[in-house]
Amino acid sequence: MSTEKTPALVIRQADFSNTSRVVTFMTREFGKVACVAKGAKRLKSPFDAALDLLTHCGIVFIHKTSGALDILTEASFVHRFKPYAGELNCLYAGYYIAELLDSLTEPHDPHYRLFDESVPLLTRLEETPNWRRVVLRFELLILEETGQLPSFDACALCGRLLEDSPPAATVFIRSGFICPTCLPDATAEDGVSRPVSAGTAHILRVFSEDSNTWQDLPVTSAQAKEVRALMNLLIAQTLGKRPRMHGYLRD
């Protein structure tokens, strides 16, 4: 048993008893942590508003090594998520980020970069209505951080570098793009295939780069549609199911 302190984001809440909740945090130092928050349902909760979904807070918890739930002892409010007014998708995009943080990461497996970049991405959902850009950047970030990002630079089967243009004729979702030479060798085990244009391939590369170029990259509405269909498939294949929030995020 040890007492730990860390910055955290609230990513899930569930009732535990008449007065307590189980709160799942994405913490900076310890990754995903599920804690019992005793008294969190009382009117005068010891944790105040620090446990609302997507609130950025500082927490202190007792880590139980026995596999039991950790115990939350302190939660101090840093910032409450306030999605861009007038664009409901910014709220849903925030919920989607919480859903992916919860479902794609393992307990007590820290991802510092994932935490450090998730916080400003949530801030962008407060400041601009352009949720699509934030969602795509986040999806590619979490896939990379959890070792599940396909290569967008090289053929997934032969490893040959793909040029931006002409594009690979087809993308195989599980493993990435496939060069035209390898296309006949791909099997059903490589996943669902989907045609992808050169523009979309370029967008995926830029949005998964470790730079800020993605923020200003021009994206047409046709490209945005193609990217979305492809990413929905990729995320669903990675998770083994369709995320709940895919049903809410719509144009």
Least CB distance to Zn ion at residue 216 (A): 32
Dihedral of alpha carbons 184, 187, 190, 192, sign: positive
70-79 and 56-63 as β-strands: parallel, antiparallel, unpaired? antiparallel
When the beta carbons of 72 and 157 are compared against Zn ion, the nearer one is 157
Position among 37, 59, 149, 155 found at the interface with Zn ion (CB under 5 A): 155
Question: Three-class SS of residue 74?
Answer: strand
Least CB distance to Zn ion at residue 4 (A): 46
Contact region with Zn ion (CB under 5 A), list: 30-38, 141-149, 179-187, 219-227: 179-187
Q: With contact defined as beta carbons under 8 Å apart, do 75 and 59 qualify? A: yes
Position among 59, 75, 171, 182 found at the interface with Zn ion (CB under 5 A): 182
E-assigned strand segments in the chain = 2-15, 21-27, 31-37, 56-63, 70-79, 170-172, 176-178, 193-195
When the beta carbons of 50 and 179 are compared against Zn ion, the nearer one is 179
Residues 71-100 that bind Zn ion (CB under 5 A): none
Say what angle helices 198-207 and 131-145 make with each other, to 10 degrees: 70
CA 217 to chain centre: 20
Per CB under 5 A, does 49 bind Zn ion? no
When the beta carbons of 59 and 182 are compared against Zn ion, the nearer one is 182
Q: Tell me how many residues contact Zn ion (CB under 5 A).
A: 5
Contact region with Zn ion (CB under 5 A), list: 10-18, 90-98, 154-162, 166-174: 154-162
Buried b (16+ CB within 10 A) or exposed e, 101-131: bebbbeebebbeebbebbeebbebbeeeebb
- The 8-class DSSP code of residue 161 comes to B
Contact region with Zn ion (CB under 5 A), list: 113-121, 137-145, 150-158, 234-242: 150-158
Least CB distance to Zn ion at residue 177 (A): 9
Measured distance CA(78)–CA(177) in Å, rounded: 41
What six digits make up the tokens of 81?
A: 């998520």
Contact region with Zn ion (CB under 5 A), list: 69-77, 81-89, 178-186, 224-232: 178-186
Position among 68, 158, 222, 229 found at the interface with Zn ion (CB under 5 A): 158
Per CB under 5 A, does 162 bind Zn ion? no
Least CB distance to Zn ion at residue 175 (A): 11
Measured distance CA(152)–CA(202) in Å, rounded: 9
Per CB under 5 A, does 157 bind Zn ion? yes
Contact residues toward Zn ion (CB under 5 A) are: 155, 157-158, 179, 182
